[in-house]
């Protein structure tokens, strides 16, 4: 039997098994949910680590608001899930403020070193910025982000917010299974960089599932933040320590780069999808790709086709291809981006792009429009409080544990987000000193009739806009509950042009990865349309969500079944 046929039979077996499991009739009546929604009246926290969820929940119970709890939970995750985020990474948030009844966005991404130039990189023979080591390091933005949102909306003291993470860093915490799995695979890759082995291994190996992990240097770093505020990270002795370390190891990130950093309050942007307002932050992130996908799909009656039908999957993949070509060609730091965001997410532009979809045939290649990812490990969390405030927060070191560059006595690793720059003159995302790179991490928020509805995120590099659109479709078109919307099998299309210039154009239509649970009849129909189908290499994404149930005055929470996390309320 030929290898191709064996692969197809294996795919059929996996999908059939998933379909059978999906048919299990839960008592809630929602067969796709791994468990029922969590429901509570006064507050809700959903994160990818149960201990971080409990820290956020404790902050709410002690009188803190959703902003305090979000920072507390994020601080815990920087300690407990260094495989997905860290103090050396960047930060974005969308906040619903109950007092003003408005959404606020914060872009906490850092810029490239001012002393590193495109000409130097090209002279050294680089065609792409390396994945790890000193060159992809950009200014970390998370600490500034914490203090910015706390100053504007927080109520508890920074000391009270960070103390639980300080205690866990000094006394230790047991490692969950999935984080241990990722950590073990990171150690061989990052061990060559100075400081990593000393601070992120036990005798040269990764900590194991269930083993107690301590990070006393990280506790010291958090105590600096309590005592000195955000300037303790960007202008104090810690900033000089980071800069000296980078200079000693071939890096360009300087004390001046750190001291000059400021994040930005920005207005979220939105599109209306079947009566629901879907909110994202504008570039340098990729969130508007999710809005473009939804705009293209709005003209098709997905509900009548049904979840998992050939039409559902085909239309989603084709809309994604179109949006991602724009993502590759146009998205960048807004100070360097020439294309108008309003036009990219307009209904008129979506109508133009929609005309390129053939219902009977998969597109082999598409071009970016001419208007008037990637691997990434990330955390996202959602929090809501008794006052009605809600926070969607996402934070990352980008590729796994980051660059591997681990400043002495710091307890954290610097990010490698600068890898996302393009080393080709004329591209919107071309490297430049003091520029923000293209970003994959994106928070999301849904409102209905001007009221907050769902705070959510779904991490995972280039999966994020695809995942965001699928969550909205599952909730709105297919009427799923909050947990089921995240547990339902996911579609992942790979092979679109990347914003890093790593591919000039999508070739041969890319590959459609399907998680188990899609009918084999759908797979066969997609293959007849010309799609290249492959069973999931994922899991794809990590979803956390909180929903406001205005009818009953309660919150619903959901946490990703593919992660170690938990949703909990009180």
Task: Point out the residues that are catalytic.
Answer: 378
N-term to C-term CA, the chain: 57
Structure tokens at 406: 């681990």
How many beta carbons lie within 10 A of that of residue 122, not counting itself?
14
- Work out the angle at residue 52's Cα, subtended by the Cα atoms of residues 69 and 538, and round it to the nearest 5 degrees: 120
Specify the pairing of strand 533-535 against strand 511-514: parallel
The single residue listed with the structure tokens 């006393």 is 216
Neighbouring residues of 367: CB distance < 8 A, sequence distance ≥ 6: 325, 505
- Work out the angle at residue 379's Cα, subtended by the Cα atoms of residues 378 and 385, and round it to the nearest 5 degrees: 155
Burial class from Cβ neighbours inside 10 Å (0-12, 13-18, 19+) for residue 327 reads buried
C-alpha distance from residue 93 to each of 109, 199, 230, 282 (Å): 11, 29, 17, 12
Contact 427, 118 (CB under 8 A): no
3-state DSSP call for residue 160?
helix
Distance from C-alpha of 569 to C-alpha of 383, rounded to nearest angstrom: 10
Neighbouring residues of 227: CB distance < 8 A, sequence distance ≥ 6: none
Structure tokens at 241: 């320590």
Name the phi and psi angles at 191, rounded to 5.
-65, -20
CA atoms within 13 A on the CB side of 86: 29
Name the phi and psi angles at 391, rounded to 5.
-130, 130
Neighbouring residues of 366: CB distance < 8 A, sequence distance ≥ 6: 321, 322, 325, 356, 506
Distance from C-alpha of 174 to C-alpha of 168, rounded to nearest angstrom: 10
Helices 66-80/50-61 angle, 10° precision? 150
Q: Which helix (H) or strand (E) holds 45?
A: strand 44-47
**Separation of CA 212 from chain center:** 27
Distance from C-alpha of 398 to C-alpha of 380, rounded to nearest angstrom: 13
Nearest to 334 by CA among 226, 423, 455, 438: 438
C-alpha distance from residue 162 to each of 105, 219, 222 (Å): 23, 9, 7
Contact 144, 262 (CB under 8 A): yes
The full DSSP string for 527-565 is HHTT--EEE--S---EEEEEEEETTTTEEEEEE-TTSS-
Sign of CA dihedral 529, 535, 537, 539: positive
């Amino acid at each position: 039997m030929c290898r191709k046929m064996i692969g197809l039979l294996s795919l059929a077996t996996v999908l059939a098994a998933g379909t059978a499991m999906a048919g299990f009739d839960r008592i809630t009546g929602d067969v796709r949910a791994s468990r029922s929604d969590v429901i509570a009246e006064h507050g809700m926290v959903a994160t990818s680590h149960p201990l971080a969820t409990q820290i956020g929940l404790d902050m709410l119970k002690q009188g803190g608001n959703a902003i305090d709890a979000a920072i507390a939970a994020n601080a815990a995750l920087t300690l407990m899930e260094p495989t997905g985020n860290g103090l050396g990474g960047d930060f974005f948030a969308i906040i619903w403020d109950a007092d003003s009844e408005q959404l606020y966005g914060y872009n906490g991404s850092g810029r490239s070193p001012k002393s590193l130039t495109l000409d130097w990189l090209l002279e050294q023979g680089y065609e792409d910025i390396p994945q790890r080591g000193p060159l992809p390091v950009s200014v970390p933005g998370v600490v500034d982000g914490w203090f910015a949102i706390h100053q504007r909306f927080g109520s508890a003291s920074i000391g009270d917010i960070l103390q639980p993470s300080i205690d866990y860093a000094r006394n230790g915490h047991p490692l969950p299974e999935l984080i241990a799995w990722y950590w073990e695979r990171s150690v061989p890759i990052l061990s060559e960089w100075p400081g990593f082995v000393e601070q992120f291994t036990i005798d040269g190996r990764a900590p194991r599932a269930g083993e107690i992990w301590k990070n006393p240097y990280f506790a010291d770093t958090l105590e600096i933040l309590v005592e000195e505020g955000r300037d303790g990270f960007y202008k104090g002795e810690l900033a000089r320590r980071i800069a000296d370390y980078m200079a000693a190891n071939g890096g360009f990130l300087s004390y001046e780069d750190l001291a000059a950093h400021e994040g930005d309050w920005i207005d979220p942007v939105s599109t209306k999808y079947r009566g629901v307002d879907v909110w994202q932050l504008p570039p340098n992130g990729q969130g508007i790709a999710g809005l473009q996908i939804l705009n293209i799909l709005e003209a098709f009656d997905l509900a009548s086709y049904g979840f998992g039908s050939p039409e559902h999957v085909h239309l989603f993949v084709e809309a994604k291809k179109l949006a991602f070509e724009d993502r590759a060609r146009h998205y960048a730091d807004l100070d360097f981006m020439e294309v108008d965001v309003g036009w990219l997410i307009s209904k008129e532009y979506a109508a133009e792009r929609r005309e390129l979809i053939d219902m009977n045939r998969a597109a082999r290649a598409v071009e970016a429009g001419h208007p008037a990812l990637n691997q990434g490990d990330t955390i996202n969390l959602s929090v809501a409080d008794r006052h009605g405030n809600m926070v969607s927060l996402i934070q990352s070191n980008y590729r796994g544990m980051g660059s591997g560059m681990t400043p002495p006595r710091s307890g954290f690793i610097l990010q490698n987000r600068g890898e996302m720059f393009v080393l080709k003159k004329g591209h919107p995302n071309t490297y430049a000193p003091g520029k923000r790179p293209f970003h994959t991490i994106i928070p999301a928020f849904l409102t209905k009739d001007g009221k907050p509805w769902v705070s959510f995120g779904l991490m995972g590099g280039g999966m994020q806009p695809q995942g965001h659109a699928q969550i909205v479709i599952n909730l709105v078109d297919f009427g799923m509950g909050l947990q089921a919307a995240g547990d339902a099998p996911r579609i992942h299309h790979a092979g679109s042009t990347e914003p890093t210039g790593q591919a000039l154009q999508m070739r041969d239509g890319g590959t459609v990865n399907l998680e188990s649970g899609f009918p084999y009849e759908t797979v066969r129909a997609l293959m007849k349309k010309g799609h290249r189908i492959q069973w999931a290499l994922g899991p794809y994404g990590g979803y956390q969500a909180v929903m406001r149930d205005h009818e009953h005055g309660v919150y619903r929470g959901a946490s990703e079944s593919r992660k170690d996390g938990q949703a909990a309320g009180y």
